[in-house]
Structure 1
């Protein structure tokens, strides 16, 4: 089986991290809960099932978690038409497939949002996952494992923009590389497991053949 590139979507292929930050900020404020915007941004790439507790504590999660996620979705949906692909996203996917690499998208986003992004990216016939496919999102490895099974991958590398992508890759037993498109710094991405960090998608595209593909281990059922 060919080498597989597991691509994160939000912040990596589509420019959504700051839209998500604003939507979460508005969601918390709608419930009279103050969470600093910087703390929310630092949690981008983490699934909504974990974000509330991570930024506001377990008590807020128990009392308001589902309502906050519903409010985030409503505020984010209002901005959906503003979302644009990150420069070079379509070129990256096309170059990978032209090289004979398998490509699969592993997103912590909701299925309806990923479907919208696919229309923007026009990636061709490739496999993809969303948070609807798993019980636990990043930094848990579940999304990556589902993506690998869908692709029938035997060797793979994970590409993302956040520390949570790198951590999820590590938990899945795979190497990761990162891009700076999500607002996380190079040093922190390396500290969380990225073997290389690229300033943009075109620079990554130029080095696709040199990515650190590794054998996929036992993934469980």
Structure 2
């Protein structure tokens, strides 16, 4: 058996194909409070914590005026589309491959509890993962490293434990860098390879299944 590593995996967009639904949910939520923004701009923010999106879209003034209402509506829009969201190719295979290597596995989600539970059930992963996080576990969301640090704490591991992150957005990769974790990226976030590399990704693959097949060439070998 190899030396045990803690694998910290993002769920939304990395294991579950949900990014474009989230972008549409933000579009509808902002439109409901009188703010119409191009969907492509909103998509660029997916992966960032929902508590930061409205400020990123329109600054502190917009956050002050509509932030809470927009987030409340966005959660409703996501819930209405959650049945459309499905695991990405090889997502469960990656979880199984990581566990078969003898590593510990925690899913680092900033989703609400109900969403995280739905995604874990879609992955049929309750008997595979060691633990998972939700938005209730942190005050500062990605690209802050807090979510990844909490993921380690959930396993009783120190902050300097040998760990690797797998994510799909530059926000995931930046959070991992701040947490001192090497980060593997998948392209399902819609970011360019140059952006992911600039953020600090050590390897980039098309799908979770591709990561599983190439595991021996990654820090999770």
Give the TM-score taking structure 2 as reference length: 0.93
Match of 2:85 in 1: 83
1:111 aligns with 2:113: yes
Match of 2:208 in 1: 201
Contact 2:96–2:128 (CA under 8 A) maintained in structure 1: no
Q: Hey, what's the Cα distance between the residues in 2 that align with 1:103 and 1:208?
A: 14
Moved more, 44-53 or 203-212: 203-212
Q: Hey, what's the Cα distance between the residues in 2 that align with 1:55 and 1:107?
A: 22
Question: The residue matched to 2:16 in structure 1 has which SS?
Answer: coil
Q: CA deviation at 1:211?
A: 2.4
Question: The residue matched to 1:80 in structure 2 has which SS?
Answer: helix
Moved more, 145-154 or 23-32: 145-154
Aligned residue pairs total 213
1:5 to 4, 7, 10: 7
Question: The residue matched to 2:163 in structure 1 has which SS?
Answer: strand
Q: Hey, what's the Cα distance between the residues in 1 that align with 2:113 and 2:196?
A: 26
Match of 1:146 in 2: 150
Match of 1:133 in 2: 137
State the superposition RMSD in angstroms: 1.2
Give the TM-score taking structure 1 as reference length: 0.93
Match of 1:52 in 2: 54
Q: Hey, what's the Cα distance between the residues in 1 that align with 2:64 and 2:90?
A: 41
Mark the runs of 5 or more structure 2 residues left unpaired by the alignment.
none
Q: CA deviation at 1:208?
A: 2.0
Superposition misfits of 4+ residues, deviation over 6 angstroms: none
2:162 to 145, 152, 155: 155
Question: The residue matched to 2:139 in structure 1 has which SS?
Answer: coil
Q: CA deviation at 1:125?
A: 4.3
